[in-house]
């Protein structure tokens, strides 16, 4: 049952993004426009799809809903208490024989790793934790193994790296870390917009980690005179993914209501 719920979550998560929703609206509008009686409704649906695409790809507007979500949790600041472990949560990769490891890992993975190494160097004696799975297509190298390869290339000793293969999502990452390092002081590194859901799931697993959000998507803008961009659309999709993720864990009872204060 868990496997089918996981597949359903992935399917709905991909379907309910701005681009697929816009395309579905346009398809519906086309069907409406083909009939004289429903052309007025088709025009309204076209306008709705256009408005959705504009709001999702126009930075001054997208920042209005992304920034409050990201700034709820401050970035990591070293205090007097050292930490034992820095968990860098998973992203994705694809092994390609003739490409460097920096091209095989996603940009999100590299940013999270860089922040994890920064915090690792601020806490002598700590260890990095990498989690994840092999991914789609039975990649010969798992995500945490690929992340370890880059971390070693950047000067982190192999003895200071722990990897846990298998977790497919954040809930499973939290559970496997809780089983292996249940009482240690822990920092969790992930993308800022993902941090609220990650904290929810780590709290449910019985851990109380120090958050270290990174890869903030919203940036201050100086003018409203700018064009919509695909990069902004990507940021909006990430935000939508996290909003749906929080809704999913509440509907499925995975977490107690902890963070969402909208």
Cα 173 to Cα 86: distance, rounded to the nearest angstrom: 13
Asked if the model's pLDDT at residue 168 lies above 60, the reply is: yes
Cα 106 to Cα 157: distance, rounded to the nearest angstrom: 22
- Options 3.40.50.740, 3.40.50.620, 3.40.109.40, 3.40.720.10; CATH of 85-214: 3.40.50.620
Least confident of 17-21, 77-81, 124-128, 188-192: 77-81
Cα 199 to Cα 220: distance, rounded to the nearest angstrom: 26
Nearest-Å Rg of the Cα atoms of the chain is 21
Cα 228 to Cα 52: distance, rounded to the nearest angstrom: 12
Which contacts of 209-213 are long-range, i.e. CB under 8 A and separated by 24 or more positions? 209/87, 210/76, 210/83, 210/185, 210/186, 211/73, 211/76, 211/187, 212/75, 212/76, 212/86, 212/115, 212/116, 212/119, 212/187, 212/188, 213/70, 213/73, 213/74, 213/75, 213/76
Residue position matching structure tokens 């201050």: 220
Q: How confident is the model over 107-118, as a mean pLDDT?
A: 95
Give the three-state DSSP class for 181.
coil
Cα 255 to Cα 189: distance, rounded to the nearest angstrom: 20
CATH 3.40.50.620 location in the chain: 85-214
Torsion of CA 104, 108, 114, 117, to 10 degrees: -90
Residue range 12-25, pLDDT digits in tens: 667 778 888 899 99
Residue position matching structure tokens 């049952």: 1
Q: How confident is the model over 107-114, as a mean pLDDT?
A: 94
pLDDT at 71: 85
Residue position matching structure tokens 């999702």: 56
Alpha helices per DSSP H over the chain: 2-15, 18-33, 39-57, 59-70, 101-104, 107-122, 143-153, 170-180, 195-204, 230-251
Question: Which two tokens mark 82?
Answer: 């050292």
Cα 162 to Cα 164: distance, rounded to the nearest angstrom: 7
Asked if the model's pLDDT at residue 130 lies above 50, the reply is: yes
Residue partners of 260: CB distance under 8 A and separation at least 6: 196, 246, 250
Q: 173-203 burial by CB neighbour count: b if 16+ within 10 A, else e?
A: bbbbbbeebeeeebbbbbbbbbbbbbbbbbb
Q: pLDDT band at residue 169, thresholds of 50, 70 and 90?
A: confident
pLDDT at 36: 85
Residue range 189-209, pLDDT digits in tens: 999 999 988 998 999 889 999
Q: pLDDT band at residue 2, thresholds of 50, 70 and 90?
A: low
């Amino acid at each position: 049952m868990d496997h089918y719920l996981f597949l359903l979550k992935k399917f709905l998560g991909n379907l309910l993004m701005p681009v697929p929703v816009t395309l579905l609206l346009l398809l519906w509008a086309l069907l409406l426009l083909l009939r004289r009686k429903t052309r007025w409704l088709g025009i309204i649906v076209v306008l709705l799809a256009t408005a959705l695409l504009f709001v999702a790809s126009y930075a001054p507007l997208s920042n209005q809903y992304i920034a409050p979500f990201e700034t709820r949790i401050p970035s990591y600041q070293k205090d007097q208490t050292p930490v034992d472990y820095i968990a860098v949560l998973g992203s994705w990769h694809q092994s390609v024989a003739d490409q460097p490891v920096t091209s095989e890992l996603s940009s999100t993975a590299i940013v999270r790793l860089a922040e994890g190494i920064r915090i690792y160097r601020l806490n002598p004696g700590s260890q990095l934790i990498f989690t994840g799975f092999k991914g789609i297509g039975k990649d010969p190298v798992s995500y945490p193994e690929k992340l370890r390869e880059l971390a070693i290339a950047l000067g982190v000793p192999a003895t200071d790296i722990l990897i846990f293969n298998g977790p497919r999502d954040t809930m499973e990452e939290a559970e496997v870390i809780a089983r292996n390092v249940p009482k240690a002081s822990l920092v969790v590194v992930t993308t800022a917009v993902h941090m609220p859901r990650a904290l929810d799931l780590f709290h449910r697993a019985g851990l109380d980690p120090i958050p270290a959000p990174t890869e903030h998507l919203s940036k201050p803008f100086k003018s409203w005179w700018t064009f919509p961009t695909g990069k902004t659309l990507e940021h909006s999709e990430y935000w939508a993914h996290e909003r749906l993720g929080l809704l999913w864990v509440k509907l499925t009872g995975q977490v107690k209501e902890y963070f969402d204060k909208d």
